[in-house]
Chains A and B, each alone.
Chain A
Amino acid sequence: MPQIVIYGIITGAFYGLTSIGLSLVFGVMRHLNIAHGSLLMIGGFVAYWAFHLFNIDPFVSILLVIVILFALGAALYKGMFCRLDDLPEGQKINNSMLVGFGLTWIIDNLAILFWTSDVRAVTPAYTGSVVELMSGMRVPLVGVGIVGLALLVIFSLHLILTKTFFGKAVRATAQDRDAANLMGINVERTYLIFFALSSSLAGIAGVVAAVNYSVHPTVGFEWLLKAIIILVLAGVGKIGRVFTAGLALGIAEAISVYFTGPAYREVVGLVLFILVLLYRSR
């Protein structure tokens, strides 16, 4: 049983990484960026090609992924999403979903065109090796890396949002956009950087997906589903809660796989999703 929980924690840390960018952008900017999954997929492919062409370790190519996805996110925001910013909140959420669906369609099909729909994985030499904790619990080495990475992301995001002027500008903008503007905050530029940052977070999750699972052009949508379940479980915009919800989902899935087999894994998340929608008063 402790072994199952360990796998649940690793999965949960990955789920947290998948959801955090989506959740922060939704909380701060009220864009529900459906294309988050496709950005994740691109991050996975960057890590894959960096590994296969140049033999760069995936945990190192994360740096490259952060830069590339930041630029891509900035371009998508400037080209498309920023046009929705002056809409009232409800319309903004709806329209950002439509834009996101369209982008997913385009990005995923371009990926099939360039890279074919083959399923690929990043398999460095240490894949499959395990670390033994006391009392015979075995933890995959990659899993240790994933949990460490998740902690690093939580810690960095927390520092950025609470200690830097940029982070304070982001929080102020989320609470009252016009008032933030009146403080001299360039709201449009803050949104641009924040959206780009969230794309980088999607990319990081993509690298983890490519190492721990696999990557193919339409993989984004599968992980997007998890990210949205976590968004609903966690509520909006709190880093700690996103990762707690990720862990809860990961562990719940791992335990259900132990009792009922992998066939029902997806059901667990969706049942949780429905229960939360039914019983949580907004």
Chain B
Amino acid sequence: MLDLREVDVHRGDIQVLWRVSLAAQEGKMTALLGSNGAGKTTLLSAITGLLRASKGTITLHGSRIETRPVHEIVEMGVSMVPEGRRLFPEMTVHENLELGAFARKARNQRQETMDLIFGIFPVLKGRRLQIAGTLSGGEQQMLTIARALMSRPRLLLLDELSWGLSPVATENIFETIKKINRTMGLAMLIVEQNVSMTLEMADYAYILENGRIVGEGRAGTLLESEQVKDAYLGIGDL
């Protein structure tokens, strides 16, 4: 459903991504692994349109999106949980969720979506009128995911969910993500530093190094591979 072919991306004069090809399937969780500065966030930004691909094509269920403006790409069903949360801190939980349903199609069904989401995150229901900036870190991360789901996405991009969270909170968030992936059947593309946890959950994974895809495969296979163990799991020599 999402298909990147030979995509180059620049930030200013500096080329960050070289000929990246990648796909994500409906109902599947695809992981993008790589160390800091490998270009993972840049890749997600290129999909949402916040950054432009300088070469190559990006296709979303059959139509080219690499030249469309961000708000149209969102309207087509792409939603993003950005790194560092990026909530609207001065607004209430309720207003943050409403803004998540800003896209025209989502706006009309925002009440039903909100009920659905309060089912997944009951904590948020109790805090509906609280100012988002005053929530705890874990609650803020839940709200970011909830806000992204409000647009009824078909493709959900998740950038560093474990950012600033305790191990317990991280585990909770990952559990929830797994549940959402199973029940809602949307495509997920997840970028994460926490490699072992991500590979246990994902179906397929790509490894990005210095702006290039250097490996890919089924998550279970990668979890066992020497290359991944060496570079990311820190257990290669054991």
Q: Which residues of chain A have a CB within 8 Å of any CB of chain B?
A: 165, 168-169, 171-172, 175-176, 178-187
With A169-B99, A183-B74 given, name 16 new contacts (CB 8 A): A168-B91, A171-B91, A172-B88, A172-B91, A179-B82, A180-B88, A180-B99, A182-B74, A183-B99, A183-B100, A183-B102, A184-B103, A184-B104, A184-B106, A185-B102, A186-B71
Q: Are A182 and B75 in contact (CB under 8 A)?
A: no
Residue numbers in B under 8 Å from A187 (CB-CB): 71
**18 A–B pairs (Cβ distance < 8 Å), ordered by A:** A165-B98, A168-B98, A172-B91, A172-B99, A175-B89, A176-B86, A178-B82, A181-B50, A181-B71, A182-B48, A183-B147, A184-B71, A184-B102, A184-B104, A185-B71, A185-B102, A186-B69, A186-B71
User: What interface size band does chain B fall in?
Assistant: 20 to 34
Residue numbers in A under 8 Å from B102 (CB-CB): 165, 169, 183-185
- Cα A181 to Cα B74 in complex, Å, equals 9
Residue numbers in B under 8 Å from A169 (CB-CB): 99, 102
Q: Are A175 and B90 in contact (CB under 8 A)?
A: yes
Q: A171-B91, A183-B100, A184-B103 are in contact. Are A178 and B71 (CB under 8 A)?
A: no
Give per-residue flags for B73-89: 1 if the beta carbon is below 8 A from chain A beta carbons, else 0.
01100011010001111
- Cα A181 to Cα B88 in complex, Å, equals 12
State whether the Cβ of B10 lies closer than 8 Å to any Cβ in chain A.
Answer: no
Residue numbers in A under 8 Å from B80 (CB-CB): 182
Q: A176-B86, A183-B74, A183-B151 are in contact. Are A168 and B99 (CB under 8 A)?
A: yes
State whether the Cβ of B125 lies closer than 8 Å to any Cβ in chain A.
Answer: no
Q: Which residues of chain B have a CB within 8 Å of any CB of chain A?
A: 48, 50, 69-71, 74-75, 79-80, 82, 86-91, 95, 98-100, 102-104, 106-107, 147, 151
- Cα A175 to Cα B96 in complex, Å, equals 12
Residue numbers in A under 8 Å from B107 (CB-CB): 165
Give A239 Cβ to nearest chain B Cβ, in Å: 14
Residue numbers in A under 8 Å from B87 (CB-CB): 176, 179
A178's partner among B50, B75, B91 (CB-CB below 8 A) is B50
- Cα A165 to Cα B108 in complex, Å, equals 12
Residue of A nearest to B106 (CB): A184
Residue numbers in B under 8 Å from A185 (CB-CB): 71, 99, 102
Residue of A nearest to B89 (CB): A175
- Cα A151 to Cα B210 in complex, Å, equals 58
- Cα A178 to Cα B86 in complex, Å, equals 9
Give A188 Cβ to nearest chain B Cβ, in Å: 8
Residue of B nearest to A176 (CB): B86
- Cα A197 to Cα B237 in complex, Å, equals 65
- Cα A143 to Cα B99 in complex, Å, equals 40
Give A25 Cβ to nearest chain B Cβ, in Å: 18
Give B42 Cβ to nearest chain A Cβ, in Å: 14
- Cα A184 to Cα B106 in complex, Å, equals 10
Give B223 Cβ to nearest chain A Cβ, in Å: 31
Q: Are B74 and A171 in contact (CB under 8 A)?
A: no
